[in-house]
Structure 1
Amino acid sequence: MTTVRRSAAVLAASAVLCVTLAQTAVAGGDVRAPSPNAPSSTPAPSTANPSTPAPSSPSPSSPPADTAPTTSSTSTPATPAGLTAPRPAALPPGLYGTADPTRDGVWRQSLAMLGQYAAGQRPANSAILWLKGQQCASGAFPTYRADPTAPCDADTVTDPNATAAAVQALSTLGGQRPVMLSALNWLRSVQNPDGGWGHRLGGPSDANSTSLVIGALSATGIRPSSFRSSEDHHAYDALLGLAVPCGKGTGRTGGFAYQRGGPGGTAQLVADNDATAAAVLAGVGKRMVVAPVKAGPAPVCRGTSGLTPERAARNGAAYLASALARTG
């Protein structure tokens, strides 16, 4: 639990720093990104041809996770000092981690690859090929499928969070655009009417999942406002609907709620630390990995009239700065 809290605190601090120097990239709900046809400047991995499009496959009937993975941490506990966790014989080559991957295989693989990118390291080609091999013919990524040679079917648990995380990870490599666009097309097909996404298909939109997709779109050079739902809403519409107004009292300090509660989503919004950290990065058009920045002026929560994604992100950063000052 301490590790999880520290990870959340690190992401929150990154979000606060990022928003103080972020370019004015968001206007009217649009992220000003490079042309979708612009080639990636990151060189593609050089061996084992990992840029070959993923096989159109997938299949396991892994049950959905009890809770949605978030952008702040993973839930795999650390191995106690002095003990070596045995690696299950069934784990395929290229998959990072030693724990059962049924509920988090694609998620943890994506985070591991993003971590290597942040450290200036290229993932092993076997790791890249493993991740791409998880993709279904529909473009979706499941939580995990043990047999990537079998096609996905009705029992395959496809996951918006895993799909968005995989796109973010693949965007760091270069040469992966067909795989990423296929995944984004699937995400568009399962977008909720309010413009957002939930961690389970058909579930209500939440700040974490919606922020992950915004990060995936931004990393691919696509404006989030271009993904319109059946009711003509986009991702920032859903995210701004979870922004807690500035004010006094518990939960009314400019952060973001994870999800709307109560019957029909009518309950008062209450800010959530982890959801706010994710939404702040999304509000300024960033993915989970951001470049180091220097601290700027302390963010301040200001009004809700004519709220833009960037203004909401700054309000969220003010909430996080206050929370970090209290708890470290």
Structure 2
Amino acid sequence: MWQPYKKGFKAYLQLERSLSENSVDAYLHDVELLTQWMLLQGLQKNPAAVVQEDLQQFLKAIAEMGMGANSQARIISGLRAFFKYAMLEQIVQQNPTELLEAPKLKRALPEVLSFGEIEAIIGAIDQSTPEGVRNKAMLETLYSCGLRVSELVNLQLSQLYMDVGFVRVFGKGSKERLVPIGRDAVKYIQLYRDNVRVHVPVQKGEEDMVFLNNRGRRLSRVMVFLIIKAMAAKAGITKNISPHTFRHSFATHLVEGGADLRAVQEMLGHESITTTEIYTHLDREYLRETLHRFHPAFK
């Protein structure tokens, strides 16, 4: 019954919203969960017949199954997107998600690495191997530009403007932005490109990719995660870190250095300044130090 609507929703997400394949699959999965639950309840309803109470019962059911607040919020977001599409296409006359309340979420702040810890992780790389030269260039770029891991693994040679110190990045929803790149990152990318990458047998379709594995294909996100984990362990750092930790540390260090929040938002590619505020968490010691330095009552 819902198949034609799901098909239309998929096309809307791909063409009008320009979402990635992973995001499209996640939204479709949310709608699929609702339709499966309705089937189990014996509710033979098309989207136009769904009311807010149905959705509240569905959310109650998934909460009772042990689904966490973050997962519930993610599903609500998917359902809101579907019914927004259904309103646009006049499939429904009223949006049942309009007054639907999402569970309150705690803002979990990721780990932050100090500049010294970043240097220790990058310094743990063995640069005597081809993979080490690549990994050095890769982690310097990750920290220097504050990239998402997906942006790093899909970075292309044609997106590097190293003579002027910028890289062109395609982020979520294929949104384009220009990000400054540091001198060290430029230096190590050039070393990797000129001395290692030239000897890799590049697979068809991967010719423009910056970072390649030894089979000539772009690296996977999992591989970047494993490389960072291994280097952190080698450097003796026990924090729970991932490629995202480098991005969060990049933003935190910028704000601690006095960067404007809007500039950080632009570099990270966030649509909303609220998202940037999560990434630019400042520790209490830094805030206290700032008060002592700048507030007249503390001088």
- What TM-score results when the alignment is normalised by the length of structure 1? 0.25
The answer to which structure, 1 or 2, has the higher relative contact order (CA under 8 A, 6+ apart) is 1
Bigger fraction of residues in helix: 2
Higher CA-based Rg: 2
